[in-house]
Amino acid sequence: MKNRQNNSVRAAALQVTLSVALLFGFATLLASSFKAATTAVVDRPQPVVVAQPGFYPPLPALAPAGATCTPIVVDDKITTGYPKQTGRINPTGVPSSCGAPNACSVINGALYHYADHSFTNSTGAPRCVTVTLSSSCTGANSIFAAAYIGGFDPSNICNNIVGDSGVSPNGGSTSFGFNVPDGATFEVVVSEQTANAGCEFFKLEIFGLCQPTPSPTPTATPPGRVSQITPTNVTCDQFLSGTAPTLSLVEYTLKGSPAVINQVDPGVFFYWVKVTAAAGSNTFTVNEAITSGNFSTLFAMQAGSNVFDLGCVTLHPTISQLGGTVTVQFNAPSAGTYAILVKFSANSVKGAGAPSPTTVHYNISTAGVADSTQGLDLNKKH
């Protein structure tokens, strides 16, 4: 009897010992697994986060989806033949930004030459416009830029100001921003900082006049005229849809004795024409002629000329100029209607002798294309 009880006790003790051993083994295994899992998380290569730059300049909240901005570029200079303003703006040292114009004060005591260029917001919505002023002029030849809406008054240069560069680029570049209501025309005025010092060259780049990205698959030929001369802020989509403004006048000022053409406004313009092309290789010629007989300098073609399909997709043409003839060559993926854009530099008449009479009439046309002739007057500014 006693032996039977001892055996039962030993069996129970063995069972307890086995149970403890199993629990210990399970706990060890669980701890090992947890450690391994933790190590794997720590040692796993972590993703690299790269800060993506925003669109420059930032598109305003009202910009349509897929909007794009191609800068308008103007090349000019300031000489003693340019008009004068009373005083100059006292630089704040900080460029203005959209919604945050600088306070305006004037340094009086002298007259300063300036160049004035006008632009229009025809995008259909208010825009935040950024202007970049670049120049190699330094020191006494440094320059300054300011923007105006509602007209620039050279005798009251703080009137209607909406933004300014804050500083001179002084051999480099500087950018400033301001808001432009829908449909408003604004002027960018670049002035010398030392009276009668001038500046041999500067560049303006206008960003922010965005347009909707055109549809790549139009279903029909859009309405509108066959050809048109327009300002340079006009897009392919505007021309094809018939909503582009027409440019019919380029103005100039004179300087020197004998007088030569000095400032030209606007400095560049577009000639658009719709052509019917066959599938494959095509060649068209755009002809420029002076019909008034009182001048001989033609407008030179400028980089930026192009050919588009009806979805405003470029066809990467080859375009060249010889005298008054611009030759446009491109490969059409299929037979149909295409839009040719020739960008002309009105600045190319600078330095030419003064016309007499003072108004010069140009005709621009495309050979073999009916109703493609468009006229433009070069007229002395009063």
pLDDT score of 58? 38
pLDDT score of 381? 87
Domain boundaries, the chain: 72-207, 227-380
pLDDT score of 285? 97
Number of helices followed by number of strands (H, E) in the chain: 2, 21
| Topology of the domain comprising 227-380 | Immunoglobulin-like (2.60.40)
CA atoms within 13 A on the CB side of 230: 23
pLDDT score of 196? 95
Nearest to 346 by CA among 235, 265, 280, 234: 265
How far, in Å, CA of 155 to CA of 88, rounded?
10
Q: What type of residue is 354? A: A
Contact predicate 113/78, CB 8 Å: yes
Contact predicate 131/97, CB 8 Å: no
At 8, the pLDDT band (50, 70, 90 cuts) reads low
pLDDT score of 151? 93
Nearest to 60 by CA among 177, 146, 166, 148: 177
How far, in Å, CA of 93 to CA of 369, rounded?
54
How far, in Å, CA of 236 to CA of 122, rounded?
14
How far, in Å, CA of 52 to CA of 59, rounded?
15
| Average of per-residue pLDDT across 313-336 | 95
Comparing 335 with 52, the larger pLDDT belongs to 335
pLDDT score of 264? 94
Question: 302 is written with which tokens?
Answer: 């400028």
Give the distance from CA 272 to its chain's centroid: 19
Q: Kindly report which listed range (115-129, 175-189, 360-374) carries the lowest average pLDDT score.
A: 115-129
What are the residues whose beta carbons fall under 8 Å from the beta carbon of 40, sequence distance 6 or more? none
Q: Is the model's pLDDT at 175 over the cut of 80? A: yes
Q: Kindly report which listed range (27-41, 332-346, 366-380) carries the lowest average pLDDT score.
A: 27-41
Q: Is the model's pLDDT at 274 over the cut of 50? A: yes
Cis check: omega of the bond before 357, within 30 degrees of 0: yes
How far, in Å, CA of 158 to CA of 236, rounded?
36
| Topology of the domain comprising 72-207 | Jelly Rolls (2.60.120)
Residue 304's Cβ-count burial label (10 Å; 0-12, 13-18, 19+) is: middle
Contact predicate 149/185, CB 8 Å: yes
| Average of per-residue pLDDT across 174-189 | 93
pLDDT score of 216? 43
pLDDT score of 382? 77
User: Cα torsion at 194, 196, 198, 204 (round to 10°)?
Assistant: 70
How far, in Å, CA of 8 to CA of 105, rounded?
108
How far, in Å, CA of 314 to CA of 70, rounded?
14
pLDDT score of 150? 93
pLDDT score of 24? 54
| Average of per-residue pLDDT across 224-242 | 89
How far, in Å, CA of 241 to CA of 235, rounded?
10
Question: 35 is written with which tokens?
Answer: 């450690």
pLDDT score of 284? 97
Q: Is the model's pLDDT at 373 over the cut of 90? A: yes
Nearest to 284 by CA among 214, 168, 369: 369
Share of the chain above pLDDT 70, in %: 78
pLDDT score of 71? 81
At 308, the pLDDT band (50, 70, 90 cuts) reads very high
The pLDDT tens digits for 213-227 are 444 443 333 445 899
pLDDT score of 43? 44
| Average of per-residue pLDDT across 164-180 | 93
Same topology, domains 72-207 and 227-380? Answer is no
Contact predicate 268/305, CB 8 Å: no
Cα distances (Å, whole numbers) of residue 377 to 177, 270, 289, 354 = 33, 14, 12, 14
The pLDDT tens digits for 29-78 are 444 444 444 433 334 333 333 333 333 333 343 333 333 456 888 999 99
| Average of per-residue pLDDT across 166-191 | 93
Comparing 24 with 187, the larger pLDDT belongs to 187
The pLDDT tens digits for 311-321 are 999 999 999 99
How far, in Å, CA of 323 to CA of 338, rounded?
25
Top mean pLDDT of 15-29, 207-221, 255-269 is at 255-269
How far, in Å, CA of 261 to CA of 252, rounded?
6
Q: Is the model's pLDDT at 260 over the cut of 80? A: yes
At 164, the pLDDT band (50, 70, 90 cuts) reads very high
Contact predicate 168/174, CB 8 Å: yes
pTM above 0.85, yes or no: no
How far, in Å, CA of 202 to CA of 227, rounded?
32
pLDDT score of 99? 85
Contact predicate 330/258, CB 8 Å: no
pLDDT score of 87? 96
